[in-house]
Structure 1
Amino acid sequence: MNAIERALGLLLLLSGGQRSAAELAERFQVSVRTIYRDVDRLLALGIPVEAERGTDGGYRLARDFLQPPVALTRSETAALLVALALARGLNATPLLSDLDTAQAKLLASLPRPAREVFAQGSRIVGIEKPPVDIFHPEPDAVHPGRMQAAVDAFLNGMLAGRRVRLSHENPYRGRVAEFDLEPHGILFDRDRWYLYGHDVDQDGERFMRADRVREAVVSGMGFRSRADLSVESQIGRKWLSRAMRRWEDEGTVSVLEMGEAQAGRLARDWYYRHATVEPAGPGRLHVRIPSRDPAIILPLARWLGPGAELLSPPDLRNRLAAELAAMAGAYAPSQRQPTK
Structure 2
Amino acid sequence: MNPIERALGILLLLTGGKLVPATVLADRFQVSLRTVYRDIDRLIALGVPIDAERGAEGGYRLAQGYLQPPVALTRNETAALLTAMALVRSSRTVPLADDLGSAEKKLLATLPKTVHGLLKDADRIVGIEPIPPDIFHSGTKAEPNDAWQNALDGFMTGILETRRVRFEHFNPSRNTRKGHDVEPLGVMFDRDLWYLAGRCVDTDTLKVYRADRVHDLEISGFRFRPPKEFSIQSLLGGTWLSEAMRRWEREEDIAKIRITAAQAKKLSADWYYRHAVFTPMADGDVLISIPSTNRARILPLVRWLGPGAELLEPAHLRQELAEELSSLTACYAPPHTFDRSA
Do both share a fold (TM > 0.5)? Answer: yes
Q: C-alpha deviations, 1:29-69, integer Å up to 9, x for none?
A: 65465356436525xx4x54333221111232333444555
Q: Distance in 2 between matches of 1:220 and 1:21?
A: 35
> Is the CA contact (8 Å cut-off) linking 2:14 and 2:62 kept in structure 1?
yes
Correspondence for 1:86: 87
* AA aligned opposite 1:119: K
What SS is found at the alignment partner of 1:262? helix
Query: Which structure has the larger Rg?
Result: 2
Name the residue aligned to 2:55: 54
Give the corresponding residue for 2:38.
34
> Alignment partner of 2:228: what SS?
coil
Moved more, 233-242 or 265-274: 265-274
Q: Secondary structure at the match of 2:282?
A: coil
In structure 1, how many angstroms separate the alpha carbons of the residues matched to 2:216 and 2:190? Answer: 20
Matched residues in 2 for 1:48 and 1:305: separation?
65
Cα deviation code 1:240-270 (max 9, x no counterpart): 1111111111241110000011122222222
1:126-205 matched pairs, under 5 angstroms: 126-138=127-139, 141=142, 144-160=145-161, 162-172=162-172, 173=174, 174-181=176-183, 183-200=184-201, 202-205=203-206
Q: Distance in 2 between matches of 1:195 and 1:165?
A: 11
CA contact 1:86–1:125 (8 Å) conserved in 2:
no
What stretches of structure 2 of length at least 5 have no aligned partner?
338-342
How far the C-alpha of 1:80 sits from its partner, in A, is: 1.2
* Structure 1: segments with no counterpart, 5+ residues: none
Q: CA deviation at 1:129?
A: 2.9
Shift of 1:323: 1.0
CA 259–70 in structure 1, closer or farther in 2 if over 3 Å, else same: same
Residue 233 of structure 1 deviates from its aligned partner by 0.7
CA apart distance, 1:90: 1.2
CA contact (8 A) 2:181 2:200 kept: yes
In the other structure, the counterpart of 1:121 is 122
d(CA) in 1 for partners of 2:185 and 2:306?
A: 43
**C-alpha separation in 1, matches of 2:296 and 2:49:** 53
Which residue is equivalent to 1:297? 298
Paired letter, 1:130: I
Partner Cα separation in structure 2 for residue 3 and residue 135 of structure 1: 68
Contact residue 199 and residue 207 of structure 2 kept, 8 A? yes
Structure 1 residue 288: Cα displacement: 0.8
Letter in 1 for 2:244: A
Corresponding position: 1:308 with 2:309? yes
1:328 and 1:262 map into 2 onto residues whose CA distance is 23
Which residue identity does 1:168 align to in structure 2?
Answer: E
Mean Cα displacement is larger for which, 140-149 or 71-80?
A: 140-149
Distance, in Å, in 2 between the alignment partners of 1:110 and 1:153 is: 34
* Distance in 1 (alpha carbons) for counterparts of 2:159 and 2:10: 28
**Rounded Cα–Cα distance in structure 2 between residues aligned with 1:107 and 1:40:** 23
Q: Which TM-score applies when normalising by structure 1?
A: 0.82
Q: Distance in 2 between matches of 1:116 and 1:86?
A: 19
Maintained 8 Å contact 1:139/1:171: no
> 2: CA distance between counterparts of 1:137 and 1:65?
47
Query: How far off is 1:85 after superposition?
Result: 2.0
- The CA distance in 2 between the partners of 1:56 and 1:207, in whole Å, is 47
State the superposition RMSD in angstroms.
3.2
Aligned identity (percent) is: 44
Rounded to whole Å, the distance in 1 between the matches of 2:264 and 2:3 is: 71
Q: Return the offset for 1:118.
A: 2.6
| Deviation readout 1:259-292 (Å, 9 max, x if unpaired) | 0111222222221111111112232000111111
Distance in 2, Cα, partners of 1:13 & 1:149: 40
TM-score normalised to structure 2 length = 0.82
Q: How many residues of Structure 1 are paired with residues of Structure 2 in the alignment? A: 329
The alignment partner of 1:138 has SS state of coil
1:124, CA displacement in angstroms?
2.3
Give per-residue Cα distances to partners, 1:99-139, cap 9 Å, x unaligned: 33443434753553x53233132222223333223333228
Q: 2:279 aligns to what SS in structure 1? A: strand
